[in-house]
Amino acid sequence: MSQQNRLGTGGRIDRSRPLRFSFNGQTLEGFAGDTLASALLANGVDVVGRSFKYSRPRGIVAAGAEEPNAIVQLGATEAGQVPNVRATQQALYGGLVAASTNGWPNVDRDLLGVIGSVGGRMMPPGFYYKTFMAPASLWPKYEKYIRKAAGLGRTPKEKDPDIYDHINRHCDVLVIGAGPAGLAAALAAGRSGARVIVCDEQDEMGGSLLDARELVDGRPASAWVASVLAELATLPEVLVLPRTTANGYHDHNFVTLHERRTEHLADLAPSINGRRQVRARMHRVRAGEVILATGTHERPLVFANNDVPGSMVAGAVSTYIRRYAVVPGRRLVLSTANDHAYRAALDWADAGREVVAIVDAREHPEGDLVNEARARNIRIIPGSAVIEANGKKRVTGAQVARIDIGGFKVAGRVETLSCDTIASSGGYSPVVHLAAHTGARPEWRDDILGFVPGKVPGMTPVGGVHGKSAIAEALADGAAAGVAAAQRTGFKVEAPALPKVAKVREGKAAALYQVPHVKPAMRAPKQFVDPQNDVTAAGIELATREGFESIEHVKRYTGMGFGTDQGKLGNINGMAIAARCLKQTIPQTGTTVFRPNYTPITFGAIAGRHCREFFDPRRFTALHAWHVEHGAKFEEVGQWMRPWYFPRGNETMHEAVQRECRAVREGVGILDASTLGKIEIQGKDAREFLNRIYTNAWTKLDVGKCRYGLMCKDDGMVMDDGVTACIGDNHFHMTTTTGGAAAVLDWMELWHQTEWPELEVYFNSVTDHWAAMAINGPNARKLLAELTDDIDLARDNFKFMDMREGTVAGVPARVYRISFTGELSYEINVQANHALHVWKALFEKGEKYGLTPYGTETMHVLRAEKGFIIVGQETDGSMTPEDLGMQWCVGYKKPFSWIGRRALTRPDTKREDRKQLVGLKPLDPQLVLDEGAQIVLEKEIRIPMPMVGHVTSSYYSPNLGHSFALAVVKGGSQRIGQTVYLPMADGRVHAAEVVSPVFLDAEGARQNV
Amino acid sequence: MLHIYCPHCAETREEEEFRPKGEAHIARPVEPEATSDEDWGNYLFFRKNPRGLHHELWYHAAGCRKFFNVTRDTVSYQIHETYKVGQKPSVTADKGAAK
């Protein structure tokens, strides 16, 4: 098949560069400068897909972003697969491989077409809800086939090898759209010296000028485009971005621009000098002023069988002929309600092909283009419209009749015209989508029969998007807006001299959306409104009859505008039909909301480089390299990578943890505790601040002493805990949970800045500055003694909860005698860059004591044996200090009503049946309960039954010789000695005895040696 | 994404640097122990959710670490003013927007 629809001359394609490509397995040829759609049309490919619901054959309808049918799966390789690409927006390149998205098993022989034609009337709106939802158990089965049939495209099965960038930009003026208005605005603003970005979604800039019939300064309009682009290229502050879609317009003039840098070259980004090029850039632009020059989308008319391939919007016909030198048929019937669409017939005739007739809905069409058509003896049928298309896989004829628009009825006999192409135009809908992203409701204008953008601060619409479509008018509008925008951002400039463009006189357009048929809409052949989602005029009518009056409900019930095209082509027609059925005006009916993205966008572009190791920052302690070297398995705690356990040889996790647990209790173990949050608190009111922020008292904490503190929110619920040491009278060192460090700092700043600014106190995070190593176990003192000669370690001189400053392994250190294991324990803090030295020194001396590194899992077991809580594990934001059995840590006598105190006397926090922390001892001593398991009071399980709590921590303890758990249980402190039950998902019911949460050394003898 | 003027930095910065902290001007009762359970509950849990002008507390978390107030329209997201903690808004729902 050669390019039978290609003209010998004209167009903006390069005939010296033929390109071979494949569509649905067939090899075809196009030219450089083609889109995939223009190349398909050049080759006479009529059917490009099957419709979503009825599986009807579909052809190319439009030439831009509004295309609903030509949605293809792109990619020659598995990794390069891209779903839902509009063929009208995909530049052709050599080796391009595309396939229809819809159509199963294929577009020409389609199994579902049978269902579509036989059962068409059985698939009204709400069909899926009404039919497939019951019985619910069968839904997964239906869904599988519906999805396959619906052909939503597929994602690649291989990793995406491409690179995507994000770029932050700031500009004075952002111009979106490079048609006549946009280019004039960019030129005017650019000449002022303002920083200007001008973007356009197409491969070539110029918009409607690229296929305009009008001459600009006596030359083809494209020559003026070239001259403007040449000048913009010389302006250093102007950035011109072709192939760049403004895909989202966010608050305060923040606009994301999706620039496709290689998708016109190959399915995967090519390499230059061995370096893979960046496939797409997401420019995150904060603009002083936005000039919205997005133009219009033409509305097709809604007539019966208007989806048969060969039916197109009129402007697309002109674009294919003039820009791509492709005439998409032989014999044209144009159905229009305005003058502008006459261009399609004139262009068709210019191309030397037959215009069968122009069918004009208006009784007395008048205007320059109408007169030109008359002068060329093209048959014009006034007061009429195409009411139905003939044909299945290609239009074979058009049924034309007189219509009464006001009465919405056919007013004369039906004449059938033989043709293979029907172009239609119901008018031009401004592309308001971007403005609507900001929340601005579009406003209806009767004079242009369309919605224009609502007001957005800092945004100026220019050109067609607010009804100024004629080239001369758009140029002047854009230039004036460009000057004004530059001025508002502080730049002065004269308006540029504008080229001369002859004004084309146009008659008034008629308001025609759905074309009446001889049969009522419900009985007539389908009149498609939203071809991508197979929404028909009858469907909208039915929705309104079933009581859906809000356009948002009609949209959801029918699916109108839910496709990947967001109903760019059909939404206004749908609203007009809903308005007619509801006997109200279009503005009364209103519009639906458009949301980003304007056109579908690959996830890669959204993620940019924020994926894999860059998705979230990872934090490592100063000792990380040692841990890796010694085979640690790691666990992520917040952003921190912490050693989880250190397996030896082929040890399982359980074996390693059991060994580490015993080593700490019998010899000495060491934990990298550097990740604990550390906050310096200084100032003369630091002590008072601690009194207010912690539940317990700090007034009498002497220098060199440490104290455990509980922090509550003002609702009385525990939010963090940790040990704080008094370094000097005005100087404290606070530790927080690893995950809570940032939140605690914010929390203290909040109270200081908003409630107690009179307190002189300062906070600073020092988490990363100090490395912390905790040595735990009976041999801890002996080990430390080998590395310090200036700290007196004697039992009575360096007591439990004391802090000493001195040197360890020859470097300055703070040593805290605190314990999270219940053992004799010292936490050695040194400057982080000394950490590895000290750690290694400890291991040198520690070998004879069996010094064992342990990780977070062993830490969890050891602290749980002692009943020490972990905030976030034993607590969930609903536990008070008393719920945790920590009354000893609550200073009710403190004079200031500290954060959380008042709430502890509210009726709900005083309830005795609150969930309270207890220990659980499974009756089977080998059984480790599931963390999160629900607790009930009766052995006989019935549903429902009261659930009284859940397991928060659960382990096997080699020190105890049995499994154990911590749990929260309603009224738990009164249930010590009772047996509770834990029903599991598999039907088993475990039993456990409620015991004290302290399993080991309740009197604390081990840490006080 | 909002563009927020930090009155402490005296610069307009991207929303990513800030964290919203809910309604502004929620003063902690001076004598909590003398406050009724109901009033304490109102202080803790009840917040306005207006359609229109709203005074909010924001935190320049990735900047100067200072808290400040923002008068923002919850419909249009327009920020009418930002002002320091301890100051009163000049734009209020009663007085209407300044511009």
Q: Is residue A707 part of a domain?
A: no
| CA dihedral of A10, A12, A18, A24, whole degrees rounded to 10 | -110
Residues of A in contact with B35 (CB under 8 A): 902
Q: Is residue B63 part of a domain?
A: yes
Same domain, A287 and A303: no
B87 touches chain A (CB under 8 A): no
What does the pLDDT read at residue A124? Answer: 61
Residues of A in contact with B65 (CB under 8 A): 749
Same domain, A414 and A311: yes
Closest by CA to A965, choosing from A1002, A996, A943, is A996
CB pairs under 8 A between A and B: 59
Answer yes or no: do B44 and A286 touch at CB < 8 A: no
Q: What residue of A is the nearest CA neighbor of B5?
A: A252
* Predicted confidence (pLDDT) at residue A193 exceeds the cutoff of 60: yes
Cβ atoms A818, A827 nearer than 8 A:
yes
Answer yes or no: do B19 and A757 touch at CB < 8 A: no
Q: Is A734 exposed, middle or buried (0-12, 13-18, 19+ CB in 10 A)?
A: buried
Same domain, A416 and A436: no
What does the pLDDT read at residue A155? Answer: 86
| Averaged pLDDT score across all residues of chain A | 94
SS3 B11: strand
Q: Is residue B2 part of a domain?
A: yes
Give the whole-number percent of chain A exceeding pLDDT 70. Answer: 95
What does the pLDDT read at residue A146? Answer: 57
What does the pLDDT read at residue B99? Answer: 42
Residues of B in contact with A286 (CB under 8 A): 3, 14
What does the pLDDT read at residue A564? Answer: 86
Q: Is residue A449 part of a domain?
A: yes
Cβ atoms A317, A422 nearer than 8 A:
no
Amino acid at B75: V
Interface with chain A: mutation pick from B77, B78, B83, highest number of A CBs within 10 Å: B77
Cβ atoms A817, A799 nearer than 8 A:
yes
- Phi first, then psi, for residue B49 (nearest 5°) are -140, 65
Looking from the CA of A651 toward its CB, the CA atoms found within 13 Å total: 16
pLDDT one-digit tens code per residue, A967-1001: 999 999 999 999 999 999 999 999 999 999 999 99
B2 touches chain A (CB under 8 A): yes
What is the least distance, in Å, from the CA of A587 to any CA of chain B? 21
* Predicted confidence (pLDDT) at residue A109 exceeds the cutoff of 60: no
Find the largest Cα–Cα distance for chain A: 115
* Predicted confidence (pLDDT) at residue B57 exceeds the cutoff of 60: yes
pTM for the full predicted model:
0.91
pLDDT band at A118 (very low <50, low <70, confident <90, very high): very low
Q: What residue of A is the nearest CA neighbor of B38?
A: A906
Interface with chain B: mutation pick from A679, A899, A902, highest number of B CBs within 10 Å: A902
What does the pLDDT read at residue A136? Answer: 60
Q: What is d(CA A562, CA A569) in angstroms, rounded to the nearest whole number? A: 12
* Predicted confidence (pLDDT) at residue A397 exceeds the cutoff of 60: yes
pLDDT band at B95 (very low <50, low <70, confident <90, very high): low
Answer yes or no: do A755 and B37 touch at CB < 8 A: no
* Predicted confidence (pLDDT) at residue A579 exceeds the cutoff of 50: yes
- Straight-line distance from the first to the last Cα atom of chain B, in angstroms, rounded to the nearest whole number: 22
Nearest to A754 among B67, B77, B78 (CB): B67
Give the whole-number percent of chain A exceeding pLDDT 90. Answer: 91
* Predicted confidence (pLDDT) at residue A112 exceeds the cutoff of 80: no
Q: What is d(CA A333, CA A330) in angstroms, rounded to the nearest whole number? A: 10
Amino acid at A273: N
pLDDT one-digit tens code per residue, A369-388: 999 999 999 999 999 999 99
pLDDT one-digit tens code per residue, A229-239: 999 999 999 99
The CATH number assigned to the domain holding A592 equals 1.10.10.1100
Same domain, A362 and A476: no
Q: Is residue A758 part of a domain?
A: no
Specify the number of domains making up chain A: 5
B44 touches chain A (CB under 8 A): yes
Same domain, A254 and A338: no
Q: What is d(CA A851, CA A847) in angstroms, rounded to the nearest whole number? A: 6
Cβ atoms A173, A238 nearer than 8 A:
no
Q: A179: Cβ–Cβ under 8 A, 6 or more apart, which residues?
A: A200, A206, A207, A208, A209, A293, A295, A463, A464, A474
Cβ atoms A149, A593 nearer than 8 A:
no
Cβ atoms A854, A669 nearer than 8 A:
yes
DSSP annotation of A129: I
Looking from the CA of A497 toward its CB, the CA atoms found within 13 Å total: 3
pLDDT one-digit tens code per residue, A889-924: 999 999 999 999 999 999 999 999 999 999 999 999
B51 touches chain A (CB under 8 A): no
What does the pLDDT read at residue A870? Answer: 97
* Predicted confidence (pLDDT) at residue A546 exceeds the cutoff of 80: yes
pLDDT one-digit tens code per residue, A782-817: 999 999 999 999 999 999 999 999 999 999 999 999
B86 touches chain A (CB under 8 A): yes
Answer yes or no: do B28 and A757 touch at CB < 8 A: no
What does the pLDDT read at residue B98? Answer: 45
CA distances from B68 to A91, A483, A617, B82 (A): 50, 37, 28, 7
pLDDT one-digit tens code per residue, A425-474: 999 999 999 999 999 999 999 999 999 999 999 999 999 999 999 999 99
What is the least distance, in Å, from the CA of B94 to any CA of chain A? 23
What does the pLDDT read at residue A120? Answer: 47
Same domain, A200 and A263: yes
Residues of B in contact with A753 (CB under 8 A): 66-67, 85
Specify the number of domains making up chain B: 1
* Predicted confidence (pLDDT) at residue A273 exceeds the cutoff of 80: yes
Same domain, A175 and A117: no
Q: What is d(CA A166, CA B77) in angstroms, rounded to the nearest whole number? A: 25
Residues of B in contact with A439 (CB under 8 A): 75-77
The CATH number assigned to the domain holding B58 equals 3.30.2270.10
Same domain, A399 and A449: no
The CATH number assigned to the domain holding A397 equals 3.50.50.60
Q: What is d(CA A999, CA A824) in angstroms, rounded to the nearest whole number? A: 17
Answer yes or no: do B19 and A746 touch at CB < 8 A: yes
pLDDT band at A147 (very low <50, low <70, confident <90, very high): low
Residues of B in contact with A750 (CB under 8 A): 21, 59, 67
* Predicted confidence (pLDDT) at residue A355 exceeds the cutoff of 80: yes
Q: Is residue B32 part of a domain?
A: no
Answer yes or no: do B35 and A254 touch at CB < 8 A: no
What does the pLDDT read at residue A693? Answer: 98
* Predicted confidence (pLDDT) at residue A114 exceeds the cutoff of 50: no
Nearest to A250 among B1, B19, B21 (CB): B1
Q: Is residue A29 part of a domain?
A: yes
Question: Domain range spanning residue A367?
Answer: 298-426+509-516
What does the pLDDT read at residue A131? Answer: 54
Residues of B in contact with A746 (CB under 8 A): 19, 59, 61
- Phi first, then psi, for residue A167 (nearest 5°) are -130, 125
Question: Domain range spanning residue B44?
Answer: 1-26+40-99
Domain boundary among A571, A599, A627: A599
The CATH number assigned to the domain holding A929 equals 2.40.30.110
Q: Is residue A680 part of a domain?
A: no
Amino acid at A90: Q
Mean pLDDT for A270-296 is 97
Q: Is residue B1 part of a domain?
A: yes
Same domain, A418 and A339: yes
What does the pLDDT read at residue A151? Answer: 54
Q: Which of A177-186, A607-616, A621-630, A668-677 has the lowest mean pLDDT?
A: A607-616
Q: Is residue B34 part of a domain?
A: no
Nearest to A754 among B37, B78, B85 (CB): B85
Which residues make beta-bridge pairs with A580? none
What is the least distance, in Å, from the CA of A760 to any CA of chain B? 15
B57 touches chain A (CB under 8 A): yes
Q: Is residue B88 part of a domain?
A: yes
Answer yes or no: do A755 and B28 touch at CB < 8 A: yes
* Predicted confidence (pLDDT) at residue A635 exceeds the cutoff of 60: yes
B1 touches chain A (CB under 8 A): yes
Q: Is residue A560 part of a domain?
A: yes
Structural tokens at position A592: 């639906």
Same domain, A219 and A252: yes
Q: Is residue B80 part of a domain?
A: yes
Q: What residue of B is the nearest CA neighbor of A256?
A: B1
Mean pLDDT for A717-725 is 97
Q: Is residue A461 part of a domain?
A: yes
The CATH number assigned to the domain holding A88 equals 3.10.20.440
* Predicted confidence (pLDDT) at residue A103 exceeds the cutoff of 80: no
B38 touches chain A (CB under 8 A): no
Mean pLDDT for A927-954 is 96
Structural tokens at position A484: 């004004």
Structural tokens at position A201: 């979604």
DSSP per-residue codes, A260-323: ESSTTT-SSPPEETTEEPEEEEEEEEEEEEEEE---EEEEPPB-BTTTSTTEEEHHHHHHHHHH
Same domain, A55 and A41: yes
CA distances from B24 to A400, A508, A714, B57, B59 (A): 66, 55, 16, 5, 11
Same domain, A952 and A1009: yes
pLDDT band at A140 (very low <50, low <70, confident <90, very high): low
Q: A890: Cβ–Cβ under 8 A, 6 or more apart, which residues?
A: A695, A696, A710, A881, A882, A904
Q: Is residue A194 part of a domain?
A: yes
